[in-house]
Amino acid sequence: MPNPMRPYLLLSVVFFFNLYHSMAVPDPTHQALLQCLTQSIPTDTASSIIVSKSNPSYNSVLRAYIRNARFNTSSTPKPLIIITPLDESHVSAAVICSQKLGFQVKIRSGGHDYEGLSYVFDKPFFVLDMFNLRSITVNMADETAWVGAGATLGELYYNIWKNSKVHGFPAGVCPTVGVGGHLSGAGYGTLIRKYGLSVDHVVDAKLVDVNGKILDRKTMGEDLFWAIRGGGAASFGVVLSYKIKLVPVPETVTVFRIERLLTENATDITFKWQTIAPTTDENLFMRMLLQPVTRNKKKTARISVIALYLGDSDSLVSLLQKDFPELSIGKSNCNETTWIDSVLWWANFDLGTPPTALLDRDLNDAGFLKRKSDYVQTPIPKSGLESLWQKMIELGKVGMVFNAYGGRMDQIKPDETPFPHRAGNLYKIQYSVNWDQPGSEADKNFTTQAKLLHDFMTPFVSKNPRSAYFNYRDIDVGSTKKWSYEEGRVYGESYFNGNYERLVDVKTAVDANNFFRNEQSIPPRSSSILHSSYGSATCIIIAVHTCWYYIVFIFSLCSDLF
C-alpha cells in the first residue's frame, strides 16, 4: 500500500537537500587537501594548518600579512585555502598535495611584495604562508644564525642584539619585512656600502623542492644555491630558512637627518651628493629623499639626507666638512648611539625605544602604495635636477629615494649572485607614492603619477636594459601570461641583466614543468605546464567528494520512506 505521506516526504527531501547544499556540505577542496595531507601528517595537525574560506579565521589570517591595501579589496582574487605550516615537513606535504590536486601555490613570508604576487592570482590557488616558521638560532661561536623564512627582520635584529652588542646584519630598515622574501630577492640596508647585500652573507639554506624534498646547500648544489640568493626563491622552491654570517659593528655609531628646501641650496647639495655619497668612506651610508611639499601655501620640493656612520660624531663631522661642505653638518646635527638603537631610529622609532619594539609584527597594517625603481650610473646635471623639481611639483605626490652604492658593492662581481647591479652604479632610485583613498580612481591617479615620473627620468638612468630592483616588485617592468622564456626575458633582464640566462638554466634543471611560478617568475626554457591551476584531477576529486556527501545524506533521509 503506497505511503500517503510520500509526496510530503519527497518535498522534505528536496528542501533538506537544498539546505544541505547551501549550509552543510563540507568544502570539498578542503576535504581533498586534508585527505592528502593526512597521508604524511597527523589528522589533527593537518586540520589545524588548513584555513579555508569557511573558516571563521580566514579573513584575519589573509589580511594579517597584506601590506598593500591595493590588493585587499572585494574584487581582489582570494586564495581558496591558506596553508599555515608549523613544521618543515608540513611544507613538503603542502607542495606535494598542491600538485596532486592541481592547484597553484603562492608563497608568502612577510607580505611586503609590492604587487601582491605572493597572495593574489587570477585562477583558483592556495597560499602557503610561512609566518609560523620563524625560529632564529644565533651561534656566536662562529658568528652565524639560522633564520626561519617566516621571521621578520625586526625579530632577527632583536635576536642578534640579545646575543651580542657588537654584531649586526646588512638587511633592510623596515622591521616587519619577512626574511624569506627579503633574502631571496637580494636584500640591502644601511650597511650596504660597508658589507654589501644581505645575500652576500648567506652561507647555507634549507629549501623544499618541487618533489617535496628538503635540501640544504650540499644536497641542492651550488647552482640552485646561487639562484635563491637574489634570483627570487619562489621560482625554484620554498625556502625554509637561511644560514647567515653576522658582521661586526662598533659599540658607537652615529646617525643624522638634515632637511633642505629648494631655497636652501637643495640643488647644489643633491648634485654634490651624487658624487660624494658613493665614493666617501665605506663606513658612511647616506640616503637622500626627494619630496614635493607645500610651504607657506606655495608648492616646492625638499630633500632629506639621512645617514648612518659606523663611528663617532667627531670623525663623521670631520669627514663631511672635508668632503661635503655644502651639507653644513655640525656635531649638533648628530646623535651617537648603539647599532640596535640606530636600527630602531631608521625604522622611525624615537632614540631610546626598547629593542622589544622590533618584535611587533604590526599586523593588518596596509596603506595604498606603488613603487618603481631605477639605477643611475652618471650624475644628473644641475639642469636635469632643476627640471626634476618642477616635474615632481607638477605631479604633486610622488617622492624619490636615492640609495648610495659604492664601497663594498664595487668589489663584488655582478655574477657572484643573481643580483647584478654592482660596480658602475652610483645609486639606486625608489619611486614612492602612498595614498589613503580607496577606489579605482585614486589608484589610477597615483599609479599614473609614479609612471609619469619614471618616464621623465628615462634620459638620466641606466639603459639597455633599463635596470630595476627585483625586491621593489613592479609589474610595469613586464609580466608573463604564457610562462614563456621570451616573456620572462623582458623583466628578467631588467632585474638580473646577464644573469637571467643562468637563472633560466637553473629553473629548467630543478622545475622543468614550472610548478613554482608567478607573473614575474623565472621560466624554464620550454614550459609545458602539467599543473593546471584547476586541473581535471581536482575536478574529479571534488566531484567525488561532493557526490558522496549528497548520496549519504539523501540515503539517510529516504531509507524509511519507501
Helix (H, G, I), strand (E, B) or coil at 517: coil
The C-alpha cell at 340 is 640596535
For 272, 380, 424, 545, the CA distances from 275, given in Å and listed in that order, are 6, 10, 12, 66
How long, in residues, is the chain? 562
> CB–CB of 521/7 below 8 Å?
no
List CB contacts of 174: < 8 A, sequence separation 6 or more. Answer: 112, 153, 347
Q: Where are the beta strands (DSSP E) in 352-398?
A: 368-376
Helix (H, G, I), strand (E, B) or coil at 480: coil
Q: How far apart are CA 331 and CA 319, in angstroms?
A: 12
Q: How far apart are CA 518 and CA 233, in angstroms?
A: 11
Q: How far apart are CA 402 and CA 404, in angstroms?
A: 6
Query: Does 495 qualify as catalytic in the annotation?
Result: no
Backbone phi and psi for residue 228, each to the nearest 5 degrees, phi listed first: -85, 5
Catalytic residue among 158, 472, 485, 491: 472
User: Which residues face 295 on adjacent strands?
Assistant: 298
Nearest CA to 117 out of 106, 104, 129 is that of: 106
Task: Write down the residue that cell numbers 646623535 correspond to.
Answer: 335
Q: How far apart are CA 437 and CA 9, in angstroms?
A: 55
> CB–CB of 247/191 below 8 Å?
yes
Catalytic residues: 472
